[in-house]
């Protein structure tokens, strides 16, 4: 009984933290994207970050898919390792993404015709889902980490497809815009 109450209190505390993080991260990213002047790092290496981000997203996609394969095979330890890798890659991506957009102007898509419509559809759905993905991802990870597997499975029904879509479309959007990078 005492453990259940302790876990409920921990869940309430975690709800505040997850909500705070899930709200602040998209706000910070939006501010960085739309701030009138960028931070002058004086470094050219920041222009490599979009390429690195595509690699990170590709690796995160692989880790997510492997995580599903492992859990379906009953390899719980391998599943946990894959999902922790995906989670760490997501955090690394976020730091790299914020650093790039704080210091470099956004690149405009130069494609024309139907490809332009496809690009903007993918970009807009990617952005919207990336903005809301953090909340269920953090809950799924938390529930899995704390051994609340029934809750974990319920949240994963939403978190996994959103997260997978965001990582895959992130790479597709990168590949579509990469010819237009000026650096």
The string of pLDDT tens digits covering residues 7-50 is 677 788 888 899 999 999 889 888 877 777 767 766 778 888 99
User: Residue 52: its pLDDT value, please?
Assistant: 95
Taking only the tens place, the pLDDT of each residue in 111-155 is: 899 999 999 999 999 999 999 999 999 999 999 999 999 999 999
Q: Mean of the per-residue pLDDT values for the chain? A: 89
Q: Which residue has the higher pLDDT, 116 or 3?
A: 116
> Average of pLDDT values for 58-78?
97
Tell me, what's the pLDDT at 171?
A: 96
Of 3.30.720, 2.20.25, 1.20.120, 2.170.16, the CATH number of 2-180 is: 1.20.120
DSSP state of 105: P
Distance separating alpha carbons of residues 68 and 75, to the nearest angstrom: 10
Contact between 56 and 37 under an 8 Å Cβ cutoff? The reply is: no
- Mean pLDDT over 160-170 rounds to 97
Q: Residue 72, SS3?
A: helix
The confidence score (pLDDT) of residue 6 equals 72
Q: From CA 182, how far away is CA 162, in angstroms rounded?
A: 31
Domain coordinates in residue numbering, the chain: 2-180
Beta carbons of 102 and 39 less than 8 angstroms apart: yes
pLDDT (0 to 100) of residue 109: 84
What per-residue confidence (pLDDT) applies to 38? 65
pLDDT at 100: 86
Residue 1 clears pLDDT 70, i.e. is over it: no
Comparing CA positions, the residue from 135, 105, 122, 117 lying closest to residue 173 is 122
Cβ neighbour number for residue 55 with a 10 Å cutoff: 13
Given a cut of 90, is residue 53 above it in pLDDT? yes
Instruction: Provide the whole-model pTM.
Output: 0.86
């Amino acid at each position: 009984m005492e453990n259940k109450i302790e876990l409920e209190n921990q869940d309430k505390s975690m709800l505040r933290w997850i909500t705070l993080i899930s709200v602040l991260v998209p706000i910070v990213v939006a501010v960085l994207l739309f701030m009138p002047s960028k931070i002058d790092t004086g470094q050219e290496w920041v222009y490599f970050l979009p390429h690195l981000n595509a690699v990170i997203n590709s690796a995160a996609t692989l880790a997510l898919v492997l995580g599903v394969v492992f859990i379906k095979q009953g390899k719980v330890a391998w599943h946990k390792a894959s999902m922790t890798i995906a989670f760490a890659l997501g955090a690394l991506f976020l730091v790299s993404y914020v650093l790039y957009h704080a210091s470099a102007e956004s690149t405009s898509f130069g494609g024309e015709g139907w490809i332009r419509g496809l690009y903007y559809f993918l970009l807009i759905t990617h952005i919207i889902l990336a903005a809301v993905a953090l909340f269920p991802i953090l809950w799924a990870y938390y529930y899995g980490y704390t051994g609340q597997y029934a809750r974990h499975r319920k949240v994963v029904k939403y978190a996994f497809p959103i997260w997978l879509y965001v990582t895959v479309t992130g790479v597709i959007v990168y590949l579509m815009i990469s010819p237009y990078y000026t650096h």
